[in-house]
Structure 1
Amino acid sequence: MKQQRPNLRLFVLIGFCGLVLLAPVELMRAEETPVPSGTPAAKGAAEHPSVRAVGVHKWDEEQRAANVIYAQRGDEIWVDIINFKDWVDSLGDKKPQNHEVKDLILYLDHFPLLGVSPIYSYDKTEWTGKVPPVEYIRTTVGFSLVRNDSSKPGWSHLLNQPVLNRKVIVSVGFPNGEEIDSWVNPKQVTEKDQQFYLTIIPKFRTAFGLIVILGALIAFLALARHTHIIRDAAAPRRPDGQRPYSLARGQMAFWF
C-alpha cells in the first residue's frame, strides 16, 4: 500500500494538469465558433432605377449644393442615375443593341436630344440612409448642351416658348425612345426636390442687346434731326431752312 500511494497521487496530479490545460482551449473554440441565428438578416428593397439629381458643371467641378438649377445652351450639366444596369436589364426585348452608358442621350421634357451624348461618366457605390441600409450604384454622366444637326429638332421644340426660363423634366435614355424615370420633375415641389430651368432668353445677353438697339435708335433719331442723313439733298429748302425728309431714304434707313 505504501508503494501505490505515490503512483495514485501522480495520476491525480497529471489529470488535474490536463484539465487546466484543456479548459482554455475549449473556451477559445467556443468563442470562435459562430452561433447560427434563428432569425435571418433583414434585407432592404433595392433602389428604383431613376435620375435622382442634376446640376451644372462650372469651374472644373460639379455644382451639387443647389436645388434650383439654371442652364442654357452651351453649358455642361451632370446627371446622377441610380442603378443604371438594373434599368437596362428591366427593358427586356426593348433593350437596344447598344445599351452602354456611352450610348445614352439627354431627354428634356420627354423629348430626345439626338446628338447630345455623354462627354464623361463614372460609377460610385453608395448606401441609403434607411434601416437596414441598401447598397446602390450611382452613375454620374456629363452632357454638353450643344446644338447640332441631330439635336436641332429637339431644341426647336424646347425653345419655341417666348419666356425667360422654362421648367423642364431632365432624364436620360436611348435613341429608340426608352427613357428612365426621373425625380427632377416640375410636378414634384417639395423642398428636397430639384427644379431644373432651361434658359430660353438669357437675361444678360438680352439686356445688352436691348441697350445696343436703344443706343442705336437714339443715335439715329439725333442724326435724322440734325443732319441730312434721311433728308432730300436735291429738294429746295423749306421756310425753316431745312430740306424736306426723303421717303426713299427713310424707307432705306428702316429696312437696312
Structure 2
Amino acid sequence: MRTLVLLSLFSFVVKFGLMVQISDLWQFLLFLFPLLATMQLLKLQMPKFAALWGQLIVFMGSFIAVTNPPVYDFADFLNDNLAKIVGVALAWLAFAILRPGSDARKSRRHIRALRRDFVDQLSRHPTLSESEFESLTYHHVSQLSNSQDALARRWLLRWGVVLLNCSHVVWQLRDWESRSDPLSRVRDNCISLLRGVMSERGVQQKSLAATLEELQRICDSLARHHQPAARELAAIVWRLYCSLSQLEQAPPQGTQAS
C-alpha cells in the first residue's frame, strides 16, 4: 500500500511536471536511466528498505506509462491511480479476512477431528471400523508432516499416537469373547466406562481419573480370578488402563495443543 501511494505521488510529479515538457525520447531516457541507477544504489545501501525500493523500481513503469500520442488528463490519471490503490486495498482486506490458517490452528483443527472420531470409537455402534479410524488418524497426522511449526506438528502426532493406541485396545476388548456371561458383562462395563472420558473439546480429567481407578480395581480383581479367561481379560484391561493413562498428560482446554 505504501508503495502504491509513493508511486502515485511520484508519477504525478513526473507526468505533469516533467513529461509534459519533453518532446523527444532521448530527453526522457536521459532522465530515466540516472533515476533507475540511483534507486538501485539506494536499494543496495539501505537493506532495511530493499523490498520497498525493489517494488518502486518494478512498478514505476506502469505508473509513468503514457499513450502515443500522449494524453495528460488529470481526471483519468486520478481515477487510474485510485483504482490501483483501492484494488490492492480490497485484496489485502480479503486476504486478512480469509487468510490461510496457521499451522497451530490447523493442528488444533485436526486434533479436534481426532477426538471427535475417537468419541465415535467409544460408542456402542461406531461409525468407523478400526482400520478406517487408523487410516483417518494417519491422514490427519500427515497433514502437518511438512510444517515448520515443530510444536504444532509434535502435539498433533502425540494426540494421534495416544488415541490410536487407545482405539486398538478398545477394539481388542470389544472383540474379546467368553462363554462366561459374568466376564462378558465385565467387558461391556469396561467399554461403557470410557464414554465420558473424552469430548471434542478435550479430555474430561475428573471422569478420566474415576475411569482409571475403576479399571485398576477391575484389573486387580480379574488377575486374582481362577479362570484363565478372566486373567486374559485382565491383561486387556491393563493395556487399556496404560493407554488411557497417557491422556492424563493432555494439556488443559484453551491451550495451543488442546
Structure number with the higher helix fraction is: 2
Q: Which has the larger radius of gyration?
A: 1
TM-score normalised by L of structure 2? 0.25
Structure number with the higher strand fraction is: 1
TM-score normalised by L of structure 1? 0.25
